[in-house]
Every structure is written in structure tokens, then in C-alpha cells.
Amino acid sequence: MTDVPVYQKIKREMLARIQAGEWKPGEVIPGEQALSESFGCARVTVNRALRELAEQGLVERKRKAGTIVAQRHARAESFTITLVKDEVESRGSEYGYRLLDRRIEKPNASIAQRLNIGTAKKALHVRCLHFADGRPFQLEDRWINLDVVPKAKTEPFDVEGPNGWLVERVPYTDAEHVLSAVNATAEDADLLGIEAGDALFRIERRTWLQSGVVTTVSLSHPGRDFRLQSRST
């Protein structure tokens, strides 16, 4: 009963103080030193509690300035984005894959900008479909920067999607994700076996290796089959 870790107790206590209005948004709260004394524990323990609250977006920390209660009531929620194959199989469905096209071509201005290369430069463009029990589950439209991943040049991607291939072979240091809802174009609908205009849940991802963009991809899922879920405490 009482073997809840000390740093968690402290987190709860501090949460309670924030919610009780004892510590107001924008206000500086006592320093780690002072808190550790009042809680009767080591400073590192208070530090961990505060660090986790900061990760969750409830407080903001700055050296010298101290820790302040976050102005905006925002909490960071964590969603797990899995590889399609795992996602499909975790639902108990059979995974399927089909390559649509694979071309080395010049990207348009928008894609070139996303890849951070010139429009004169060619890149690898792959489009493919992922199935769950034979039903289209995800439409993948990907561009790969051949400067960063030259070995992709000779990879046919006919039996394995570029997603898994990249994950297993190319490391990345940074990632960006954008989630959105869009209406399916006629082409999207045709490929996904749905009606034009149906809602799509789209995940756009870009990954970097140091300062170079590795790949940028758009993953579209029929809205009725896809959702992202998170649960936090």
C-alpha cells in the first residue's frame, strides 16, 4: 500500500498543489533544494519528480529562473506508432503487401523542400499498399533521399515495404510526425477500396539522420478502420 515510490508521491503532491491553486500558472515554485528539505528526501528525488512533470508538460524549467507552473493547460500524450505489419498482425489479421510503383524521379517543389534537396535532384519515389486480411489497410506514398540512403537505389521493394526495410537498415536521429484527417481523392479511394470522399486518417512522417532528411512518407488509412489510442496516468 505504502510502497509507492517517493518520487511519485511527490509528483502527486505537487499536482495537488497546482490543482488546488496553491501554485498558480506562471508562478515560480520553490527550488529543488528547498523542496527536498520540506519533503525530507534527496534532491535527486525531487529532480526526478519535476523532470517527469516537465515531460508531461505541467511545469516548465529553466536554469537560474527556476521552475514555473505551465501557463497552458497542456499535457503531452504519448501514442505508439507501430510498423504496419505489426499493427495488422496485432489485430489478428493476415498481413499483405503490394508494390504499386517505384521510380527514381524528380520531386515536385513541395516534396523537394521536405527532403531538403533541390528540385533538379532525383529521389526514390515508392508507392505501395498494405493489406489486412486482403483488405487495403494503408496506402503508403514515400520519398527516399538517395544521398543519405544510396543502397535503396537497387532495392526493388517488391516483397517487403520500404517502411520495414528502412527501419531495419537505416538509423535516424530525429523524427517528425503530423496527424491529420482528409477526404480520399478518387485515386486514393480506388486503391483503398472505399468511396471517394471517405475520411482518411493520415500520418505523415519525416526522419533525419543528423542534418540530412532520410525519408518522408504519407500513410493513409480508411477512417473506419484506424484509430490511435493512448492511456496515461
Residue 233, H or E segment? none
Among DNA, its own copies, none, partner that 228 touches (CB below 5 to 8 angstroms by kind): its own copies
| CA 224/CA 109 separation, integer angstroms | 32
Single out the segment in contact with DNA by CB under 7 A; choices: 35-43, 113-121, 126-134, 165-173: 35-43
| C-alpha dist (Å) from residue 63 to 42, 57, 67, 97 | 19, 17, 8, 51
| Options 24, 51, 177, 224; binder of DNA; rule CB under 7 A | 51
| CA 121/CA 119 separation, integer angstroms | 5
Q: With respect to its own copies, which residue has the nearer C-beta, 103 or 224?
A: 224
Phi-psi region for residue 197, left (φ > 0), alpha (ψ -120 to 50) or beta? left
Q: With respect to its own copies, which residue has the nearer C-beta, 120 or 229?
A: 229
Binding flag, residue 45, DNA (CB under 7 A): yes
Half-sphere exposure of 30 (CA within 13 A, CB side): 13
**Burial status of residue 57 (CB atoms within 10 A of its CB: 0-12, 13-18, 19 or more):** middle
| C-alpha dist (Å) from residue 78 to 81, 226, 228, 230, 231 | 10, 17, 10, 6, 8
Q: Which sign, positive or negative, has the C-alpha torsion 36, 40, 42, 44?
A: negative
Binding flag, residue 33, DNA (CB under 7 A): yes
Q: With respect to its own copies, which residue has the nearer C-beta, 143 or 201?
A: 201
CB of 22 to DNA, least distance (A): 16
**Burial status of residue 216 (CB atoms within 10 A of its CB: 0-12, 13-18, 19 or more):** buried
Single out the segment in contact with DNA by CB under 7 A; choices: 25-33, 84-92, 99-107, 199-207: 25-33
Binding flag, residue 26, DNA (CB under 7 A): no
CB of 74 to DNA, least distance (A): 18
CB of 39 to DNA, least distance (A): 8
Residues forming the site for its own copies (CB under 8 A):
15-16, 19, 57, 72-83, 86, 90, 164, 167-168, 171, 173-183, 197-202, 221, 223-224, 226-233
CB of 201 to its own copies, least distance (A): 4
Among its own copies, DNA, none, partner that 75 touches (CB below 5 to 8 angstroms by kind): its own copies
Binding flag, residue 42, DNA (CB under 7 A): yes
Catalog residues that contact DNA under the rule CB under 7 A. 3, 5-8, 31-33, 40-45, 47-48, 50-51, 54, 61-67
